[in-house]
Amino acid sequence: MIGVLIYPDFQLLDASGPISVFEIAARFAGNDPAIKTLAATPGPVRSSSGVEMLARGLKPSSAITTLIVAGGNGVRTAATCPKTLAFVRALAKRGVRVASVCSGAYVLAEAGLLDGRRATTHWQRTRHFVSAYPKVKLEADRIYARDGNIWTSAGISAGIDLALAMVVEDYGDEVAQRTAKQLVLYHRRSGGQSQFSSLLELKAPTGRFGPLLAWAREHLDAPLTVEDLAEHAGMSSRHFTRAFIAETGTTPSKAVERLRIEVARQRVQSSSEAIERVAETTGFRDPERMRRAFIRAFGQPPQSLRRAARAG
């Protein structure tokens, strides 16, 4: 059963978006949807739009396999509710998949579930979130992040992206694609919160090579050859390459380039760091090589992206 935790002044789409994804996916998978809205105080719960949803109380239930915490204007109050925090902690301790949409990450952080973990939240909350929860490894540009059984997503509509990723895990890629098509959505968005997140473009970012890709992202200044990646994965180069392509839909070298582009783009747009320095530290080495990669990915060179970011 999918549990969606709401509270007074929650953001309606944070709850209704994932609910719609799971409803449609379950029907495509031949199952009856099993989704419940939950709240510390059962009954009608008013969203920030004024629209209400009817919620059940926070009673421990072994039927809950996934808990999604909505974000919204009322999240600060919800994040200080002992009953809510105890409920979230209990489910996480039991191994339930726990997720947040947008600022719902505050509830997970207050419950201690994000300490030492990778997470994300709405870009407007980044500065405050980082200062409030220094133990969290915040990845501000991600559409969603997963660390073990804890998932977090960025602003509002990103909860739909997160739910679709969960559908891939629960029912497989075909059901997720059909669900996205039914909702008239991209199966996987190609952009991060600031337009591009290469890791999410991969066909199966949460599969067995997910940890390897996360490791590669932290070591972009290294050569990261196929042999390097295969060794880190504990596989022969030939077997690794075949398995990687089968699971992610791309080659190891293209995946590494996408990761380099992602990090380089972030630094080009958000800092005054020399282009040559960005190319060196992200593994491109040669600025011309990075320029060609940017043109392939964005249709324009790094300098143009920097000018556009400053103009905006």
> What distance in Å separates the CA atoms of residue 298 and residue 305, rounded to the nearest whole number?
9
> What distance in Å separates the CA atoms of residue 148 and residue 98, rounded to the nearest whole number?
10
Q: Which helix (H) or strand (E) holds 302?
A: helix 302-311
**b vs e for 261-282, b when ≥16 Cβ sit within 10 Å of the residue's Cβ?**
bbbbbbbbbeeeeebeebbeeb
The structure tokens listed for 86 are 């105890």
Q: Which helix (H) or strand (E) holds 137?
A: strand 137-138
Asked if 102 is an active-site residue, the reply is yes
Catalytic one of 102, 167, 168, 216? 102
> What distance in Å separates the CA atoms of residue 198 and residue 141, rounded to the nearest whole number?
11
Phi, psi of 7 (to 5 degrees): -160, 165
DSSP designation for 205: T
**With contact defined as beta carbons under 8 Å apart, do 226 and 252 qualify?**
yes
Indicate which residues carry an active-site annotation. 102
